[in-house]
Structure 1
Amino acid sequence: MKVLLFGATGMIGQGVLRECLRDPGVSQVVALVRKPSGQTHAKLKEIVHGDFFDYRAVEPDLAGLDACFFCLGVSAAGLPEAEYQRLTYDLTLAAAVTLARLNPSMAFVYVSGAGTDSTEQGRTMWARVKGRTENALRRLPFRAVYLFRPGLIQPLHGIRSRTGWYQAIYTVLGPCFPLLRRLFPKAILTTEELGRAMLRVARDGAPAAVLEAADLIALGAPPAPAAAP
């Protein structure tokens, strides 16, 4: 399976990239980045691209792919709705429309958020915009579209958020995650589980297009050990 990854340097994207590179069923990961990450791997093809609203210059590199894991996102804090829509809806659809034309047999996985408003009519601005984005993605002619709505995510394997105040929260919560996982086993997932869930739905499908935290935890469970002969 050949995978396209957006957001490979963010917290979620780092976790997804790790799982993709570790999965023997993934032959190549194409990571579209604004700046070189410095990471190298035999399966990793990194493409530096400056304009995430226009993909004409890199279209040849975006064809022949089986799945797209879209992990880009910005915080709505302090942003007016028009700007948040540009950086969420417009940016995502610019990529998705291009990919649907080049790879109609692709599975497109979008990291949305818990509490997203599918009606597009609620009072919470970010939830309306995310809902508008989800709805637009579902209308595109992909083989499948999966909308991930994780809640709290525990970063593993030294992964850190690039957003300072997010990382401060994760640093404070770090010692509490084992207890929180026991108290809320269907609400908190790890970057490892999220990456495995993406690979699983891209490869095998899922029972629903919209997948909440509990669904993602189940889909991201480690494979059962092989039975002894």
Structure 2
Amino acid sequence: MRVLLFGATGMIGQGVLRECLLAADVQEVVAVGRTALTQEHGKLHQVLHADMFDFQPLEHLLQGFDACLFCLGVSSVGMDEDTYTRQTYDLTLVAASTLARLNPQMTFVYVSGAGAGTDSAGQGKVMWARIKGKTENALLRLPFKAVYLFRPGVIQPLYGVRSKTAFYQSVYTLINPLLSVIRRVRPAWVVSTESMGRAMLTVVRHGAAQPIIEPAQINQLAAERS
């Protein structure tokens, strides 16, 4: 399969990229982003693009894909609602609408967040969840083959994956051993970057019973063999 990956330099995206490159049935990964990856691999091709609100110059490169794994996102900390809406809802829908037109046979996988379901009607009081819920609803209306919305909670970085935010990385370094224990005994609480990537590939290959993928199901899907 040919996979399009957004957000490959982020913590989740790094883990997803690793699993794509390890998967025997993934023949090519095209990573689209503003920042160049230092990683090189025979399956990996990079497309650097500064304006993530205009994909018209790239349309000839964005066709013929089986899946889009959309791991691009920002924290809402310190952002007002208009800015967060532009960076979350507007940016995602510009990319997804373009891809739905160019690749109607595509499976689109979006990284949302635990708690987005509480504001799925887009009317809740929690700003980030309201915007994520609005984004989820808009994606489900697009004419893709399938759309899956991943709602991870706590995420454990594995295999050298690091957060780009120094403070977050320092926290992960401190609590990583504890996260390993929690993930084994409470799979509904913690997922890993590895399980995110594996679960995404599973839904692309085989689908899932429903579009909303919560942490426990992420771990279950990740354990399935291809």
Q: TM-score range by the shorter chain?
A: over 0.9
Question: 1-side partners of 2:128 and 2:171: how far apart?
Answer: 20
State the Cα RMSD in Å.
1.1
Report SS of the residue matched to 2:142.
coil
> Which amino acid in 2 is paired with 1:159?
V
Question: 2-side partners of 1:115 and 1:57: how far apart?
Answer: 35
> Which amino acid in 2 is paired with 1:17?
L
Deviation, structure 1 residue 40: 1.0
Question: 2-side partners of 1:148 and 1:175: how far apart?
Answer: 24
Question: 1-side partners of 2:210 and 2:32: how far apart?
Answer: 28
Deviation, structure 1 residue 182: 3.9
Question: 2-side partners of 1:136 and 1:222: how far apart?
Answer: 29
Question: 2-side partners of 1:143 and 1:179: how far apart?
Answer: 37
Structure-to-structure mapping, 1:157-172, within 5 angstroms: 157-172=159-174
Of all paired residues, the percent bearing the same amino acid is: 58
Deviation, structure 1 residue 222: 5.3
> Which amino acid in 2 is paired with 1:101?
R
Which sits farther off after the overlay, 80-89 or 169-178?
169-178
Report SS of the residue matched to 2:72.
coil
Structure 2: runs of 5+ lacking an equivalent:
none
Deviations 1:71-98 (A, max 9, x none): 0110001100000000000000010000
Partner of 1:34: 34
TM-score by length of 1: 0.95
Question: 2-side partners of 1:222 and 1:14: how far apart?
Answer: 21
Give yes or no for contact 2:30–2:47 (8 Å, CA) kept in 1.
yes
TM-score by length of 2: 0.96
Structure 1 residue ranges (4+ consecutive) displaced by more than 6 angstroms after TM superposition: none
Change (3 A) 1:105 1:147: same
Report SS of the residue matched to 2:122.
coil
> Which amino acid in 1 is paired with 2:25?
G
Question: 2-side partners of 1:79 and 1:122: how far apart?
Answer: 17
Residue 200 of structure 2 is aligned to residue 198 of structure 1: yes
Deviation, structure 1 residue 33: 1.7
Give yes or no for contact 2:7–2:13 (8 Å, CA) kept in 1.
yes
Partner of 2:80: 80
Question: 2-side partners of 1:181 and 1:47: how far apart?
Answer: 34
How many correspondences in the alignment? 224
Partner of 1:44: 44
Partner of 2:225: 223
Report SS of the residue matched to 2:125.
coil
Report SS of the residue matched to 1:220.
helix
Question: 1-side partners of 2:182 and 2:3: how far apart?
Answer: 32
Deviations 1:19-42 (A, max 9, x none): 000001001000002121121111
> Which amino acid in 2 is paired with 1:74?
V
Partner of 2:21: 21
Partner of 2:147: 145
Structure-to-structure mapping, 1:178-197, within 5 angstroms: 178-197=180-199
Structure 1: runs of 5+ lacking an equivalent:
225-229
Partner of 1:122: 124
Question: 1-side partners of 2:184 and 2:57: how far apart?
Answer: 48
